Amino acid sequence: MAGRGKLIAVIGDEDTCTGFLLGGVGELNKNRKPNFLVVEKDTSIAEIEETFKSFLARTDIGIILINQFIAEMIRHAIDGHMESIPAVLEIPSKEHPYDASKDSILRRAKGMFCAEDFR
């Protein structure tokens, strides 16, 4: 697909956002809202969910990176996202290591298997 590339959005704690912005994914200008959200202790779940949904609605975002502990707060919204674009990737945070059993994608992939499937 030719044309302008899509952005990588980030919803994470301060260190995660700082790291990814250092990597060059950030966009912030007066015309559009930023493609990242720094989640602090006083950030409400409603704000996180609203930001996540706004990222899903934008056509210029290809991947959303989100700390897994934040993803747990809005698990219903993440599980409800079935489209391939934007792709949602859960990443660990400093205080919460990555847990594959909580990942939406892997749970969807794992859920298909039962004993009868192998007959």
End-to-end CA distance of the chain: 41
Under the criterion CB under 8 A, does residue 11 sit at the interface with other proteins?
no
Under the criterion CB under 8 A, does residue 87 sit at the interface with other proteins?
yes
Under the criterion CB under 8 A, does residue 59 sit at the interface with other proteins?
no
Under the criterion CB under 8 A, does residue 96 sit at the interface with other proteins?
no
Under the criterion CB under 8 A, does residue 38 sit at the interface with other proteins?
yes
Element (H, E) at 46: helix 45-57
Under the criterion CB under 8 A, does residue 8 sit at the interface with other proteins?
yes
What three-state secondary structure class fits 92? coil
Member of 45, 75, 85, 107 binding other proteins (CB under 8 A):
85
Element (H, E) at 15: helix 14-23
Token digits for 113?
Answer: 């298997």
Instruction: Check: CB of residue 65 under 8 Å from CB of residue 91.
Output: yes
Q: What span, in angstroms and rounded, lies between the C-alpha atoms of 98 and 82?
A: 22
Under the criterion CB under 8 A, does residue 101 sit at the interface with other proteins?
no
Candidates 26-34, 43-51, 71-79; binding stretch for other proteins (CB under 8 A): 26-34
CA atoms within 13 A on the CB side of 59: 1
Judged by the rule CB under 8 A, the positions of this chain that interact with other proteins are 1, 4-8, 14-31, 34-35, 38, 62-63, 65, 84-85, 87, 89, 91-92, 94, 97-98, 100, 105-106, 108-109, 112, 117
